[in-house]
Amino acid sequence: MKTAIITDSTASIKEGEIQDVYVLPLQVIINGQDTYRDGKDIDYDRVYQLLKEHPQGLNISTSLPRQADLIELIEAIKDKYDRFVFLPLSKGLSGTYDMIVQAVKPLSTPKKEFVVLETSDIAISLKWLVQEVKALTDTNCPTKAIAEVVDQHKQSIFTAVTVKNLVQLRKGGRISGLKKIIATLLRVKPIIFFDKGVNTLSGKAFTFVQALEKIFTFVKSKFGDNFKIKRIGFCNAFTPVKAKEVKALILDFLHTNKITLQREIESSFITSAIIAHTGIDAFSISLLLDKNK
């Protein structure tokens, strides 16, 4: 059985980067009228520059992938594969999952299986999930077992995003718990926890180190003392120099607090669809945890 995996452009995967993995672009909309496909018609550098030129906020939003792009992709690859596994970003952030389900539901046959799995994920940790599922499909793993692995992954991931301000997040409507504490966040770094597939404004910090302390305090409260970090990801919307400085702070924090890693920190690019909501000078830490160690 040959399997295609289809994810979307928020997964930090470039087209052609992983064999048999295909990327469906979300849409980026500027000024309510100019529409671009994430990673195809517009990229991170262009959106970064636009955000930099509009420090008070840019009228930019995102939308579902075009259904026409989905159908075109399926038509292009349908004869090459027997099974199609879709791993879109969290349905708590986007209607992409529901759109794909409606589009491919009529296509499944005994000879062509179409499977859409809810990931509760985004960005580099969604890429990790794609890599894990790819390894399974390479061994002809049954669909039921793949779905179980996806469910286990959802229970083992956590992402925290620290942003410069809430300008773009407010414009994009991608965050809850905002009204009660917005007035207190004028001069601090808001911290957003992405947990169970949704964003929640969970704290604030004056420094990057303080943000890290809050992040790992939450991880400990959620997962307990007996866990190990299997993978850690660092995504950012900084200049290269600042990105290097913040990554060094993260490493120093982990070392000082005797938090051991099974791998080095993995850095990944942010897509235009994500920076449209975070704004510039934001970073995220994604963790894949082994809770049983």
As annotated, the binding site for hexadecanoate includes: 62, 94
Cα 134 to Cα 138: distance, rounded to the nearest angstrom: 6
Nearest Cα to Cα of residue 10 among 120, 136, 85? 120
Cβ atoms of 279 and 165 within 8 Å: the answer is yes
Cα 37 to Cα 245: distance, rounded to the nearest angstrom: 32
Cα 5 to Cα 84: distance, rounded to the nearest angstrom: 6
Cβ atoms of 271 and 44 within 8 Å: the answer is yes
Cα 48 to Cα 276: distance, rounded to the nearest angstrom: 8
- Considering only CA atoms, give the Rg of the chain: 19
Beta strand ranges found along 38-153 (DSSP E)? 60-63, 83-87, 113-116
Cα 213 to Cα 89: distance, rounded to the nearest angstrom: 27
What sign does the CA torsion over 69, 70, 74, 75 have?
Answer: negative
Q: Give the residue numbers of the binding site.
A: 62, 94
* 217 CB-near residues (< 8 Å, 6+ apart): none
